[in-house]
Structure 1
Amino acid sequence: MSGENMETFHWRPQNSSTTSISPKVKVIKFGDGYEQRIRDGINNDLRSYNVTFVGLFDDITLIDEFLTRQGGVHAFKWCEPNTHKTIKVVCRSWSSTPNGAAKTITATFEEVVA
């Protein structure tokens, strides 16, 4: 899917959502406990976001349908809550919890380059 046809995820997560940062690093270990560390690639600090959406059943079902349509394969545009910068992410897994007229979705958005 090219960037021009990429869908945009418009929903805002709960404030309790968290960001994880795990830079990719190559480590070469030497004797006596010494090691050398270098960045692994030019985009080695992509972030992962654990997001939660809570709302009325029908509204949250729209999020579930959006994520299902992407199928864990297609990246989509999303406004990162802390910087308000539009980034590309992919969602490979999410869970849905219905609670009467309400519903909760918890998902992991992974920042991608393409």
Structure 2
Amino acid sequence: MEYFHWCVAPNMQVPIQPKVKTIKFGDGYEQRIQDGINSDLRSYSISLTVRRDEDLWIDQFLTLHAGYKAFLWRNPHTHKEVKVKCQSWSVNVMNTTATITATFEEVVS
């Protein structure tokens, strides 16, 4: 499995929304349970600024994984390796640098 080795900016966003099944009964009562054994997978909104020539390598890496192939990435806050996929990213090209924003979604396959 390939490794995403580029360093992301420290202002990464990690929205957290565990999957929960809810059954509603009369009079406002409800029962809630965890939805599956992997109900707390994370997504990471990352960005990185690189030299103009390096953005091509990152774009090629993400394109080769085609939005469904998983790769390893080290979370800069926890320093844990996470298996992720990336279904969407954008590249903002400037004169000497490029900014790449992407969403990494944790997977367990």
- Specify every segment of 5 or more residues in structure 1 that has no aligned partner in the other structure, as ranges: 1-5
Corresponding pairs, count: 109
CA shift for structure 1 position 112: 0.4
Distance 1:55 1:96 in 2: 10
Q: Contact (CA 8 Å) 1:53, 1:60: kept in 2 or not?
A: no
CA shift for structure 1 position 60: 2.0
Identify unmatched segments of 5+ residues in structure 2.
none
Match of 2:52 among 26, 47, 57: 57
Question: TM-score by structure 1 length?
Answer: 0.92
4+ residue segments displaced more than 3 Å: none
Q: Does 1:81 align with 2:76?
A: yes
Is residue 31 from structure 1 mapped to residue 26 from structure 2 by the alignment?
Answer: yes
SS at match of 1:104: strand
Looking at structure 2, the residues matched to 43 and 81 of structure 1 have their Cα atoms a distance apart, in angstroms, of 22
Cα-Cα RMSD: 0.8
**Paired-residue identity, %:** 55
2:104 is matched with 109
Q: After TM superposition, give the deviation of residue 76 of structure 1 in Å.
A: 0.2
